[in-house]
Structure 1
Amino acid sequence: MTSCTQNQNPFLHANIWSRCFHSWIAHLLTKNHKHGTLHLTDLYDLLPEFESTKLTDKLEANWFDEIKQYPQEPSLIRATLRTMGWKPLLVGCLLIPTDGPFSLKNITFNARPGDLICIIGPVGAGKDFAQLPYGANTLVGDQGVMLSGGQKARVNLARALYRDADIYLLDDPLSAVDVKVSKHLFEKSIKSCLGHNICFLATHQVQFLRYATTIIILDNMGTYAQLLDSSSLFASLLKETHQQQQNQSANLEKQSSIEDSNLIEKQDTETISSLPPTNIEMKQEGTIKWRVYVSYLQASVSLPIALLLIVLLFFAQQTTALFSTWWLAKLNDDESYRYQIFKNCTTMNIHKSNTMRLMNDYEWKEHRNREFYTYCLTLVCWLNPWSLIPAVMAGSVMILLRNCFSRCSRDLKRLESLTRSPIYSHLTSTIQGLKVIRSYRAEAMCLAEFHSHLDNNIRAEYLHTTVNQWATIRFDWIALIFITCITFLVVIVRIAQYRFTVADIALTLSFSLNLTGLLQWMIRQSVEVETQMTAVERVLEYCSLEQEPFTQVSFNCCPPINWPSHGRIIFDNVSMSHSTDEHSPLVLQNISMTIDAGEKVGIVGRTGAGKTSFIQTLFRIGTLINGRIIIDNIDIASVGLNDVRHRISIIPQDPVLFIGTIRSNLDPFDRYSDTEIWRALEEVII
């Protein structure tokens, strides 16, 4: 049983009749009609034989058997058929979905939940958890995009503390946090929590080396005192570090003489709560809007042309069907066939026939044929008063049935799409964090989570297929009843009017079957179109997201070629948010400052206080709620994005290297010579 539902599947207690005709699904249709929509909690549990865990185990065993039997060309299809039997033909192919973004609770990796309280303090996450919208269950997004670098470092360290291992390998976990937080992490986490464990710490912060039992420096190693006596390199390094710390202390003493600025004056407060809830995926409800159909048609051609093509295709299909029926009827006309034989076999003796014989031939050719075709044309008309009653009843019941199951089918399709899309994110996160998962031996937990979300998708897909089969059976019942009524009416007409031949009866029944088949096809296709349009609905939802401004502006608004020539930056009452929602919290609020040309400015703040967001405003990343930013007397809001981002350089917090050579990463647009690139490499000591 999955974690998302406690609804027992009524199929387990259904009788043979209910299982054959899918009557057990009627309760779900009633619930959908009563509440107007379906949610994931309304879905029934999977049948035991459809649970992904059991299917995976069976498929794995059958796959190994397949490799043994066919080592040269193993077939996954044969292994799947041995696993599922013929059930895939009955319930459709099972889609493979996944889970969405990880939440903070996944840092536990199946450790004891009670240990979370013991870990929050040492990693300094108490204030973070208190300000998160949903506490420890807040979604952090793929690769932790909703967290800052320092917050991700603390989450990673907390996950390591959860393991309670004997040996810890810490690869510079303090580099992404500030001095205050790094001191707290070292004192409370590394010294206190890991005081009795073997801990290898790689770090460039030499102020913590005095607490190490053994220090390894490139080609030398020893204790703190031994390295002071034997290694001049280590002694000079400590001297430089000590001098830097003294300078920092002196600068801190002068802090009171520095004029307070309203730039990010949140001090110890954090802006974590202002993160937009972009990870919460909403499900559409109700019928498909007409604008979805219009947008779908406009995506290919203009709307009038699309409607004209649909009408022409419909008439062409109907004309072709009627012509083929007429041609077959004409070809199989016994009387016409005998008449043609008689005509072709006529020899010169026809000229010797008497006048009566000529009159008989003329009467056969003109009168009898004209009477027959007239009779065929009027046959349906004088039968309509009798066949109209079952036709209207059948059409009304089919339309009522269509309205009943189309709503449920549409909601189930939406749920299927909703549970299918998150797994791609889950698989991506799993592949990217495969080393971490294996090092923490969390394969079983990740696999169980995958199976849980896989079961959610299978439940929605299975119920969607079952609802469609339920409707198909009912449509066939209605068609059967309609044909039965038409047959009885035809027999009654045959008894009452002897001129109604067997061929006429066959023609009437044939067109009645075509009528019911066409009506069923139209209803099923209308529901299928409405169901499949949910995919278009989701695409339009993404297309309706607010886009960035134009990358290029008119030539008259382009900045000078040498802009920015000085680099004077003015922030005029700037307020910035990560979301376009007017009610979303502000990351930066009412910032006013001036940075003169050539100045070196340091942005100080705790982890998550908005330092990165402050830099992003220069690149017009995010939403500028209020104010303006002026660089060399030009408002960057009036400049195209290409000009702004090409003429300003940034070193991101998380460097990104693209596929290719080192030179292509250094100069992706091939604008600089090899000499200039070598000079830049020498300046960064590479």
Structure 2
Amino acid sequence: IKMYAWEIPFGKMVAYARRKEINAIRKVSYIRGILLSFIMFLTRVSVFLSLVGYVLLQQVLTPEKAFVITAYYNILRTTMTVFFPQGISQLAEALVSIKRIQKFMLYEETDIVDKSVDNPNYPGSNQSTVVKDDEKTLNRKEAEKLFPSNGHATLSEAGIVMSHVKAKWDSNSSEYTLDDVNLRVQPGTLIAIIGPVGSGKSSLVQSILGELRPESGTIKVNGTFSYASQEPWLFTGTVRQNILFGQPMNRRRYQQVVKKCALERDFELLPYGDKTIVGERGASLSGGQKARISLARAVYRETSIYLLDDPLSAVDTHVGRHLFDQCMRGFLREHIVVLITHQLQFLQQADQIVIMEKGRVSAVGTYDSLRESGLDFANLLADPEKEEAVEEKSRSRSSSKVYSNRRNSEASLNSVADSYVEETPMQQQETQEEGKIGLELYQKYFRAGGGFLTFFIMLFFCMLSQLLASGGDWFLSYWVAKKGRDGKMYSANINKTRIDDTFASFNDTTTLPPTALPEQESTFMTLLRDVGVDMDAEMLDIYIFTAITVATVVITLARSFLFFNVAMKASTNLHNSMFRGITRAAMYFFNTNPAGRILNRFSKDMGQVDEILPSVMMDVIQIFLSLFGIVVVIAVVNPLFLLPTAILAILFYYLRSFYLQTSRDVKRLEAITRSPIYSHMAASLSGLSTIRAYGAQRVLIYEFDNYQDLHSSAFYMFISTSRAFGYWLDCCCIIYIAIITLSFFLFPPANGGDVGLAITQAMGMTGMVQWGMRQSAELENTMTAVERVVEYDDIEPEGELESPADKKPPKTWPEEGKIVFDELSLRYFPDPKAEYVLKSLNFVIKPREKVGIVGRTGAGKSSLINALFRLSYNDGSIVIDSRDTKEMGLHDLRSKVSIIPQEPVLFSGTMRYNLDPFDEYTDAKLWEALEEVKLKNVVAELPSGLQSKISEGGANFSVGQRQLVCLARAILRENRVLVLDEATANVDPQTDALIQLTIRDKFKNCTVLTIAHRLNTVMDSDKVLVMDAGQVVEFGTPYELLTKSEAKIFHGMVQQTGKSTAENLTRVAQKAHELNLKSKME
């Protein structure tokens, strides 16, 4: 993304996804806001309806009755307003989560046998038979019948038999990935599998591993296997741990493997040798080093079958020759080796060659038989002299004898290298803040939510809501007390009236006529007025009480909606800032921080900011305002109550401070211990086929359990401290209520309503204070998530994306493509004292020159490209067409230099988006670019053409096809400078030749830098740059380096390819040299 200068379109894609997420969260938040508002008004509305209804039913309301009702609702308050609504919402959320887990658990499971050592159903390291067909895994007796009894592949020896196998990755696809494949691999055979890009070579290996299930046919594997994947899978740990991969340490075998995999020199160059920490995905290593470590892991494991998926493409010719001769033909001579390769110079030494095309095995045979068969593919095979082939074969066979009687050292088996762990450099730990949450963090949060004006408006609504609620409580007390006085007067007067009426009835013997009945109501009203009850004042009180209650409901809801709107805005802005910080971070940050750490912040921490924090903060604001209101009401009743209240407040403050010292850091620890879980899960998923092939499932599960236990213990400690805090708060609240209640016995008040009010308020305060203290502590604990999110906003960024006005290059820059490297040094670490990977490079690449860059793996070739794109820390300068790249914006530089990277990447989305995320080109232009790289037919066969979805990481395309997509991107951009970093490493020679023709045609007026291990791709270059240990050791035309150079390094590399190939390469270089001289003379 950085090298393509695609931060903006990918940022927009993330912003779009985030908008959809936040819209869903906002709806849920508003519902939570309503539920939280219930705490404020639901009890009050219930009391209001009960009391007003009681009065309207012409019942006499007394303080005793009123505050019994109030106390009853206060008892129900927590259940009605917190537990019941939360129970409903949390049950709904739990059901959603359970259904998602259920959906995952119901996916079809693999039938790959668990080869873990401690699996009782697997016979350990003994050879075993694995037979798969379209319906079932056969048992041993059934397998005996299927295996031929002619001695070629019996159950007593290793072998692979594939019979009429049809398989496809996508069950909905009409085309088979493997179509009617028949293959038999004999014991002790080195079989080379070759074929064009996308022909099904890797899928063939995956079917043997059991990752690709056959729809029909049978796959019979007799023996255990080891596997080196095409894209090397490394996990975070030392190089040694990556090679051993859970196997016991056998020092003799380990040293042999290191030597045979050409890792000795690399260990000398690495800062801690084989104890050097490898970053996630091997970030600190070159592509060749990663490939050889992956190969070493496969070779170290003692098995009968070795499946090697193109390990030679990432290394130079010298190392490639060493790996093939010393490792595959030497160390593994007695075993089955299935080697996928595009390196045709090694084919003559293979015992058997399989040619694949469009998912079918088009030809099988020895090198000689295929070369003489007249197949079209045979034209691509080199034609070395027979003597060389015989010499190479005899050399490789003799080398194998050295290891035919190798013995394992019993002593080394016992030295299961526990000691080296102590010497291993520590992996960079995730940073952890210390101390209390500062006011500045809250300021950042509310600033992200819309600024302080919005915050104060929201706070005003919160205070107004509380003022109305407390005012309603006070008015209730006033009204009830007034009703009590009126009730006493009414009782006394009504008794007197009844006595007078009784005496009058003896004197009046007439009865009331029926027409007098309608006047009974007015008579009753008259009677009430006679006994001293003013009905107009009564209704006025009810109207006032109603108005206060309705206003409380409306303002409380408005307050909640406003607050959650502010919270959602804060979440959106904090996420955007964090994502901006990530996209602007230097590559050093990604090399030293595993993906799990980053995912942890974007998932769990951001999830807490989105969903947990707003509810907790609203709860805290609401509770503390309510407590303030309660204290004021109690103080109005009896100011003496302020004394125990103040003592209680001080006690609570010290309890909270004591609790937070522990809980805050435990919460931070809980967040940090969560990151390894994410990292471990991501690494395990990316290397799942390798893990299964090695039978390391249980080892990985054990590691995962350890990470999970560590996180669970931190989380359990956090929950335990929270519960202990709640217990001590409860104890304090009980003592407080006892003091309030006893005080009324000692100092009886004049007004009974005041007693009821004070006690009910104090009882309400008990639960509220306990919950409020816990929530205030939870708020500070949850704010650690904001702290971690904001931390990523403060990551040190790269240089500016856009150039200053006076340094901005014109749109036509670079016009020529001249590149000057002046005293260039490069380091991967920000520390100026860090070791330089490139050291004082000085050379000039002329306009439109085609320069090949070669050298041993780890020599600094890809680092040179990092320097060109300013992905690391550069000293010195790189000048392109008289403009120092250090002084211009990164987008201005990177958008003008095209790159086909060493590890081709496709992104989730459509094929069109992968080619043109800015939507700058027409469909016709895109199809033209795809045709140039021979992918038009592949894309056209997809269900929706350019709009077809690409799987995550481009999994539905082979590595070679992904590299071709990257080449299509470069063709579309039409820049004057093109960089090819192993661009054709994973494609077959035929496709490679076509790509080279395309590059020469499309980029003939461009400056092209080509990093290559295939020397035939650079032999017709204008110049070749030879690098070693971060320095330029040779620089000149290929022919000059072959004939006149004193260092003879390039000459030696050419000779390593074999006599015949070296002669062919020399002829190509001579011809290119002569054409170059001729063009200069003209």
- Deviations 1:337-369 (Å, cap 9, x if unpaired)? 438967998988999x9xxx99x99xxx9xxxx
Paired position in structure 2 for 1:296: 445
Task: Give, in angstroms, the shift of residue 556 of structure 1.
Answer: 5.2
Q: TM-score, normalised by structure 1?
A: 0.68
Report whether the alignment pairs 1:329 with 2:465.
Answer: no
Paired position in structure 1 for 2:351: 213
Q: Distance in 2 between matches of 1:137 and 1:457?
A: 27
C-alpha contact 1:566 1:632 (8 A) present in aligned 2 = yes
Task: Give, in angstroms, the shift of residue 631 of structure 1.
Answer: 0.7
1:70-109 aligned at under 5 Å gives the runs: 101=236, 104=239, 105-109=241-245
Of 631, 645, 654 in structure 1, the residue corresponding to residue 894 of structure 2 is 645
Q: Distance in 2 between matches of 1:560 and 1:546?
A: 29
Report whether the alignment pairs 1:112 with 2:366.
Answer: no
Paired position in structure 2 for 1:161: 299
Task: Give, in angstroms, the shift of residue 492 of structure 1.
Answer: 1.8
C-alpha contact 1:101 1:422 (8 A) present in aligned 2 = no
- Deviations 1:395-433 (Å, cap 9, x if unpaired)? 222111111111211112112211223323322222222
- Deviations 1:466-524 (Å, cap 9, x if unpaired)? 11111001100011112222333332223xxxx54544333332333455555444432
Paired position in structure 2 for 1:473: 727
- Deviations 1:523-559 (Å, cap 9, x if unpaired)? 3232111101111111111111122334334565432
- Deviations 1:606-634 (Å, cap 9, x if unpaired)? 3223211211222222233x222211111
C-alpha contact 1:552 1:641 (8 A) present in aligned 2 = yes
Rate the CA distance shift 1:516–1:221 in 2: closer, same or farther, 3 A. Answer: closer
Rate the CA distance shift 1:678–1:350 in 2: closer, same or farther, 3 A. Answer: closer
Of 506, 511, 523 in structure 1, the residue corresponding to residue 756 of structure 2 is 506
The one-letter code sitting in structure 1 at the alignment partner of 2:921 is D
Task: Give, in angstroms, the shift of residue 193 of structure 1.
Answer: 2.3
The one-letter code sitting in structure 2 at the alignment partner of 1:589 is K
Report whether the alignment pairs 1:312 with 2:460.
Answer: yes
Rate the CA distance shift 1:578–1:483 in 2: closer, same or farther, 3 A. Answer: same
C-alpha contact 1:109 1:445 (8 A) present in aligned 2 = no
1:599-610 aligned at under 5 Å gives the runs: 599-610=849-860
Q: Distance in 2 between matches of 1:472 and 1:584?
A: 51
CA RMSD, Structure 1 to Structure 2 (Å)? 4.2
Report whether the alignment pairs 1:203 with 2:341.
Answer: yes
SS of residue matched to 2:852: coil
Moved more, 223-232 or 512-521: 223-232
Q: Distance in 1 between matches of 2:761 and 2:711?
A: 42
The one-letter code sitting in structure 1 at the alignment partner of 2:244 is T
C-alpha contact 2:295 2:311 (8 A) present in aligned 1 = yes
The one-letter code sitting in structure 2 at the alignment partner of 1:508 is A
Paired position in structure 2 for 1:542: 792
The one-letter code sitting in structure 2 at the alignment partner of 1:462 is Y
Paired position in structure 2 for 1:614: 864
Question: Per residue, is there more strand in 1 or in 2?
Answer: 2
The one-letter code sitting in structure 2 at the alignment partner of 1:628 is S
SS of residue matched to 2:339: strand
Rate the CA distance shift 1:392–1:331 in 2: closer, same or farther, 3 A. Answer: closer
Rate the CA distance shift 1:654–1:326 in 2: closer, same or farther, 3 A. Answer: same
Paired position in structure 1 for 2:820: 570
Identity %: 35
Rate the CA distance shift 1:235–1:594 in 2: closer, same or farther, 3 A. Answer: closer
The one-letter code sitting in structure 1 at the alignment partner of 2:760 is S
Report whether the alignment pairs 1:419 with 2:670.
Answer: no
Q: Distance in 2 between matches of 1:236 and 1:379?
A: 96
Rate the CA distance shift 1:345–1:655 in 2: closer, same or farther, 3 A. Answer: same
Paired position in structure 2 for 1:631: 880
SS of residue matched to 1:650: strand
Q: Distance in 1 between matches of 2:696 and 2:527?
A: 101
Of 698, 701, 706 in structure 2, the residue corresponding to residue 447 of structure 1 is 701
C-alpha contact 2:277 2:427 (8 A) present in aligned 1 = no
Q: Distance in 1 between matches of 2:694 and 2:237?
A: 16
Q: Distance in 1 between matches of 2:830 and 2:525?
A: 93
Report whether the alignment pairs 1:281 with 2:430.
Answer: yes
C-alpha contact 1:100 1:424 (8 A) present in aligned 2 = no
Task: Give, in angstroms, the shift of residue 295 of structure 1.
Answer: 1.4
Equivalenced residues, count: 538
Rate the CA distance shift 1:226–1:541 in 2: closer, same or farther, 3 A. Answer: same
Q: Distance in 2 between matches of 1:600 and 1:516?
A: 81
Paired position in structure 1 for 2:905: 656
C-alpha contact 2:669 2:714 (8 A) present in aligned 1 = yes
Paired position in structure 2 for 1:408: 662
Q: Distance in 1 between matches of 2:921 and 2:384?
A: 40
Task: Give, in angstroms, the shift of residue 204 of structure 1.
Answer: 3.1
The one-letter code sitting in structure 1 at the alignment partner of 2:475 is W
Paired position in structure 2 for 1:238: 382
Q: Distance in 2 between matches of 1:474 and 1:597?
A: 78
Q: Distance in 1 between matches of 2:440 and 2:471?
A: 37
The one-letter code sitting in structure 1 at the alignment partner of 2:899 is I
Rate the CA distance shift 1:505–1:598 in 2: closer, same or farther, 3 A. Answer: same
C-alpha contact 1:206 1:241 (8 A) present in aligned 2 = no
Paired position in structure 2 for 1:681: 933
C-alpha contact 1:380 1:508 (8 A) present in aligned 2 = no
Q: Distance in 1 between matches of 2:733 and 2:365?
A: 90
Rate the CA distance shift 1:296–1:320 in 2: closer, same or farther, 3 A. Answer: same
Paired position in structure 1 for 2:780: 530
The one-letter code sitting in structure 1 at the alignment partner of 2:249 is P
Paired position in structure 2 for 1:48: none
Paired position in structure 1 for 2:308: 170
Task: Give, in angstroms, the shift of residue 131 of structure 1.
Answer: 5.2
Rate the CA distance shift 1:279–1:670 in 2: closer, same or farther, 3 A. Answer: farther
Rate the CA distance shift 1:637–1:277 in 2: closer, same or farther, 3 A. Answer: farther
1:108-187 aligned at under 5 Å gives the runs: 108-114=244-250, 116-129=254-267, 132=270, 136=274, 138-187=276-325
SS of residue matched to 1:586: coil
C-alpha contact 1:664 1:670 (8 A) present in aligned 2 = no
SS of residue matched to 1:604: strand
Task: Give, in angstroms, the shift of residue 583 of structure 1.
Answer: 4.3
Of 921, 942, 960 in structure 2, the residue corresponding to residue 670 of structure 1 is 921
Moved more, 533-542 or 643-652: 643-652
Higher relative contact order (CA 8 A, sep 6+): 1
Rate the CA distance shift 1:330–1:449 in 2: closer, same or farther, 3 A. Answer: same
C-alpha contact 1:227 1:234 (8 A) present in aligned 2 = yes
Task: Give, in angstroms, the shift of residue 564 of structure 1.
Answer: 0.9
- In structure 2, runs of 5+ residues without a counterpart are 1-97, 107-233, 357-361, 390-424, 495-521, 539-631, 935-993, 999-1082
Report whether the alignment pairs 1:592 with 2:730.
Answer: no
Rate the CA distance shift 1:241–1:492 in 2: closer, same or farther, 3 A. Answer: farther
C-alpha contact 1:209 1:224 (8 A) present in aligned 2 = yes
Rate the CA distance shift 1:435–1:381 in 2: closer, same or farther, 3 A. Answer: closer
Moved more, 668-677 or 341-350: 341-350
C-alpha contact 2:821 2:843 (8 A) present in aligned 1 = yes
Task: Give, in angstroms, the shift of residue 588 of structure 1.
Answer: 2.5
Q: TM-score, normalised by structure 2?
A: 0.45
The one-letter code sitting in structure 2 at the alignment partner of 1:113 is M
